[in-house]
Chain A
């Protein structure tokens, strides 16, 4: 009896022992594998996109903001009258009936039909009361000022994974900061595959919204610069143009305009080459606007003074097999350096360049940051290639003296020139003044000094030379009465297939004001003007037209 009892007990113990071991195997040993399988079958990881940070001008107006838009989706399994639904949706959403039909034929619970639908259109579709059609809210970029500062801003598109991504300009350079951090959740589905619940599974499930940027850019100045640039391009029949306005004391970019431009809201409708910011990407031969840098270098090395005379300025000269002339074939024998800049005398500049020599010329190109990135906080900056010292020929030195045979970007030239306005101190150009995080905490970006190419004394002397150039030079007819403005015209020939085309020029004017306490330095460039080809007759009037309004804007009284 006892034996029978014990036998039964043993059998039961063994059976239950096996069951427990099997349970242990499936619930502990294979737990993670089965859990993953379950998630794959019933769960789907979904991204939670953070809200992109805004970009504000200095008056805290959001020049790039976010607007609510909707994804129109459908559940094909719940569509009752398919033909009618296709007709209504294709009409309202302005889509091809075939593509809507294809989407509604899919064996899925969720199919997207259209993106970027505004609330007005959403209300219209909602009124139609179509079963199986729903809306998902998302945010889309809004540019309230349309194409203003488009090349500076860049635009927001989608990357390969379908997430928002900034391209070009500020949106590209500051993309990581602006886009924030994505969150993630697991969406659980029921037995027949319908989504029923989202489960969050990390410390920051909803991600972090992007930080916002506060720019130095002044909206009124940007508007003014774009308006005047467009008028100038149209008046002088140019292919395009650029304007850059900088505070020489801090490197703050107050305005930067390109024409032609594009609308970042509809960027896909424009050609790719319009996206780039020519002011930081285009390389060009600066011509006479480069002369102040070369003369500054000679003054700084104490090789010449404003009253030093040019012994070779009697006529055209031949250098390395090339004949060099002045821009108007007029010659001023024995002219002073002051007069060389006033007359924009190329032969005088050859004399200055020879005085400097290749070694000092390349040294000052380096000091002025020519051939290096300025470090401006925009995507797409180019850098010209400057030949090493040992590869310079006599002709290279001579032509570099008057800004030909050497390439710069406009931002490089403006940055270098601004050192003359800022007592010899060169500041790093910056568009962004401060960063504001999602909690509203503002972190300012301080100005950064990037070099001292010339002394304060040299800068002061050079300023007076440039004031004289404006008062008595070719652009004197355009100057603002009552104001002392320092500046220089530029008319650079464009190299085409190894030769310079005499009828195609890059006309420019660079300058700053007021002379004693400069509030702005500005570079205006017109690409291939046709009505007139000289900087004094095209870029200079545009410069002074903008400068007049700038002086009023800054409340600067006459100082002459």
Chain B
């Protein structure tokens, strides 16, 4: 008669243990959906920020913008090119 009681106690203990584990784990992951949602919102926010910064970079680094800013600051284009030719080596000079 002792053996069935012992087995029942063990089973009961296991059931209780699993129940407590389940409660603890459910509790822990119950808010992960919210956290995941928050992370996705932040991700979306950074993606939008990146896209806006990218737009700004493109506009500022465009040649049309650089050209007008350069003119405003006082840069002017080079007017003439010239080539420097090498002097002849001594042996070839006569």
Q: Beta-carbon contacts of B57-73 to A below 8 Å, as 1s and 0s?
A: 01101111001000000
A65 adjacent to chain B (CB < 8 Å): yes
B23 adjacent to chain A (CB < 8 Å): no
Interchain nearest-CB distance for A476 vs B (Å): 19
Contact residues, A525-560 vs B (CB, 8 A): 548, 551-552, 557-558
Residue contact B48 to A68, C-beta cutoff 8 Å: yes
Among A140-148, A166-174, A290-298, A421-429, which stretch is in contact with chain B? A140-148
Q: Output the nearest chain B residue to A119 by Cβ-Cβ distance.
A: B52
In angstroms, Cα B48 to Cα A548, docked, is 44
Residues from chain A with Cβ under 8 Å of B90 in the complex = none
Residues from chain B with Cβ under 8 Å of A557 in the complex = 83
Residue contact A148 to B58, C-beta cutoff 8 Å: no
B26 adjacent to chain A (CB < 8 Å): no
B51 adjacent to chain A (CB < 8 Å): yes
A220 adjacent to chain B (CB < 8 Å): yes
In angstroms, Cα B51 to Cα A65, docked, is 11
A387 adjacent to chain B (CB < 8 Å): no
Which of B's residues lie within 8 Å of A, judged by CB? 48, 51-52, 54-55, 58-59, 61-64, 67, 81, 83, 85
Residue contact B63 to A65, C-beta cutoff 8 Å: no
Interchain residue pairs A-B with the least CB separation, the first 3:
A144-B58, A144-B62, A223-B63
Residue contact A145 to B51, C-beta cutoff 8 Å: no
In angstroms, Cα B83 to Cα A548, docked, is 12
In angstroms, Cα B52 to Cα A137, docked, is 13
Residue contact A145 to B48, C-beta cutoff 8 Å: no
Interchain nearest-CB distance for A549 vs B (Å): 8
Interchain nearest-CB distance for A216 vs B (Å): 17
Contact of A552 among B63, B81, B85 (CB under 8 A): B81
Residues from chain B with Cβ under 8 Å of A65 in the complex = 54-55, 58
Residues from chain B with Cβ under 8 Å of A388 in the complex = none
Contact residues, A132-170 vs B (CB, 8 A): 137, 142, 144-146, 148
In angstroms, Cα B64 to Cα A148, docked, is 8
Q: Output the nearest chain A residue to B80 by Cβ-Cβ distance.
A: A548
Decide: A219 near B63, CB < 8 A? Known: A62-B58, A558-B83. yes
Residues from chain B with Cβ under 8 Å of A145 in the complex = 62-64
Interchain nearest-CB distance for A61 vs B (Å): 7
A67 adjacent to chain B (CB < 8 Å): yes
Interface extent on A, as a size class? 20 to 34
Decide: A146 near B62, CB < 8 A? Known: A223-B67, A552-B81, A557-B83. yes
Residue contact B48 to A119, C-beta cutoff 8 Å: yes
Residue contact A67 to B51, C-beta cutoff 8 Å: yes
Contact residues, A48-75 vs B (CB, 8 A): 61-62, 65, 67-68
Interchain nearest-CB distance for B14 vs A (Å): 40
Interchain nearest-CB distance for B84 vs A (Å): 10
Q: Output the nearest chain B residue to A65 by Cβ-Cβ distance.
A: B58
Residues from chain A with Cβ under 8 Å of B59 in the complex = 144
Q: Output the nearest chain B residue to A482 by Cβ-Cβ distance.
A: B83
In angstroms, Cα B62 to Cα A137, docked, is 25
Contacts A/B (CB < 8 Å), 18 sampled:
A61-B58, A62-B58, A65-B55, A67-B55, A68-B51, A68-B52, A119-B52, A144-B61, A145-B62, A146-B62, A146-B64, A219-B63, A220-B63, A223-B67, A482-B83, A548-B81, A551-B81, A558-B83
In angstroms, Cα B62 to Cα A220, docked, is 10
Residues from chain B with Cβ under 8 Å of A548 in the complex = 81
Interchain nearest-CB distance for A478 vs B (Å): 15
Residues from chain A with Cβ under 8 Å of B54 in the complex = 65
Q: Output the nearest chain B residue to A222 by Cβ-Cβ distance.
A: B63
In angstroms, Cα B48 to Cα A462, docked, is 58
Decide: A142 near B58, CB < 8 A? Known: A119-B48, A119-B52, A557-B83. yes
Residues from chain A with Cβ under 8 Å of B83 in the complex = 482, 557-558
Apart from the given pairs A65-B58, A144-B59, A220-B63, 6 other A-B contacts in the complex at a CB distance below 8 Å: A61-B58, A65-B54, A67-B55, A144-B58, A144-B61, A558-B85
Residue contact B55 to A61, C-beta cutoff 8 Å: no
Q: Output the nearest chain A residue to B63 by Cβ-Cβ distance.
A: A223
Decide: A142 near B55, CB < 8 A? Known: A482-B83, A548-B81, A557-B83. yes
In angstroms, Cα B62 to Cα A235, docked, is 26
In angstroms, Cα B52 to Cα A119, docked, is 8
Residues from chain B with Cβ under 8 Å of A223 in the complex = 63-64, 67
In angstroms, Cα B83 to Cα A67, docked, is 45
Residues from chain A with Cβ under 8 Å of B63 in the complex = 145, 148, 219-220, 223
In angstroms, Cα B64 to Cα A552, docked, is 21
In angstroms, Cα B82 to Cα A548, docked, is 11
